[in-house]
Amino acid sequence: MNRTIKSALISVFYKDGLEPIVRKLNELGVTIYSTGGTQTFIEQLGIPCTAVEAVTGYPSILGGRVKTLHPKVFGGILARRDFEDDQKHIQEYEIPLLDLVIVDLYPFEETVKSTSEEKTIIEKIDIGGVSLIRAAGKNYKDVCIVASRNQYGELLEVLNTKNGDTSIEDRRKFAAAAFTECAHYDVAIADYFNKGTDAAEFQLAVANKMPLRYGENPHQPAAFYGDADAMFDKLNGKELSYNNLVDVDAAMQVIYEFKGAAFAIIKHTNVCGVAEKDNVVDAWDAALAGDPESAFGGVLVTNQTVTLEVAQKISELFFEILLAPAYNDDALALLKGKKNRILLLQKKIFFPEREFKRVLNGVLVQDADTTNYAEWKESGGRNTTEAEKEDLIFANKVCKHLKSNAIALVKNKQLVGKGCGQTSRIDSLRQSLDKAKQFGFDLNGAVLASDAFFPFDDCARMAHEAGIMAIIQPGGSMRDNDTIQYCKDNNMALIITGTRHFKH
């Protein structure tokens, strides 16, 4: 069922991209109605348009809060062309029919990001725009609604190829996008008002769909919703995959933990190598040495500028992605030598406030794990040395980013062994000790971090036998005293933090 556009209401906040549409509508002989700044914009193009006030008989009032909220506007949008009674009312009240509505919404989210002044934020809650969009979307069988400048190109194509006609499929597609726009907008407003409260509903609206080649596996269709361009610039390489994005997120969260020169290597969201040193080259060498086998095909991340020296070393390894805040020109030129190698320039430091996961027919929501330790309770046979304390803090941070059950072995701010994803804590310890042995690390003087308590003293015994003399763990077991007593008997340092770091 085609409809010919004979009249249009245009009232937008953003004018960019609007000119070719207005000119095409004028060329097609469409009567244009408008308000305020949009009207001025159209008239400055030398194109005639009728002020909405001339239709309603009312000026814009209440400081612009009420402009289009009038039966003569909404009647022209909501009138059903094939309903005799609707058409009688149109004639009786001299209401002009509107076939096309181009309306966008005040920039509420942008305003929230740019100011904390509530008065300014509240004024950016759109009323008329949302009402016009919903009205036109509801009557999509007769009216075409365009609710975002992102759709101007699509509308212009329809106008050019169909000479002002729209099909029912066109109008329904535009209506679906319009209601999506409103839903996203309403969720943003609800989030603003619910911040700091115990909201009864979980709501999330994320725009900017980016289709992906596939999901975790090739047979799973997938997409990313969000603004990846705000997080990083892609300087080289193939398109990011689902698994790439998951690992990049993990990499960003890991590197956020460190203030000194750090390098980390991520594989399937787990840290397989990480070190914090005096410079980026030493940090890379130490991170890679922690597990050069697992590093193959990994995601690399640093909080330092990538220099030519470190780029030359990195290039000896096959890796999927490198994420860094800056690259020297010569380093970038070298790294771009492989066309599929993904190089990302991090633009924004990101650590989430909340985390959520689909479970059963609902969603689990929790605050992000931002606390490294609630207390620093010396509980062993001696206090930690300053060197041990630095390593224990480092190890505890690393352990937080390993899948449970997790153990991290650290020496001189270098991950030298790790166990993760095991079904028992002692299996994770065995795995970490085996890794350290595999790559020739001397564990005398190393420290151990555990993401959760030790139910028995067997982990402390095994660690001690390997040369480890300092442990950090949350405590909380009914048998904490077993581990505490073993550490006291063997002059081991033991820190109880009171903060568990499960990660599933």
What is the full DSSP assignment across 265-308?
Answer: EEETTEEEEEEEESSHHHHHHHHHHH-TTTTTTEEEEESSEE-H
Q: How many residues does the chain have?
A: 504
Among the listed residues 138, 173, 184, 338, the single catalytic one is 138
Find out whether 43 and 18 touch, Cβ atoms under 8 Å: no
| Greatest pairwise CA separation for the chain in angstroms | 97
CA distance 98 to 232: 43
Find out whether 456 and 479 touch, Cβ atoms under 8 Å: yes
**401 noted as active-site residue:** no
For the four alpha carbons of 55, 56, 57 and 58, in that order, the dihedral sign comes to negative
Nearest to 202 by CA among 191, 193, 210, 192: 191
Q: In Å, how far from its chain's centre is CA 76?
A: 41
CA distance 404 to 79: 60
Find out whether 117 and 24 touch, Cβ atoms under 8 Å: no
CA distance 325 to 6: 53
Among the listed residues 268, 313, 338, 503, the single catalytic one is 268
> What are φ and ψ of residue 37, in 5° steps?
-65, -35
**138 noted as active-site residue:** yes
Q: In Å, how far from its chain's centre is CA 345?
A: 16
- Active site members: 138, 268
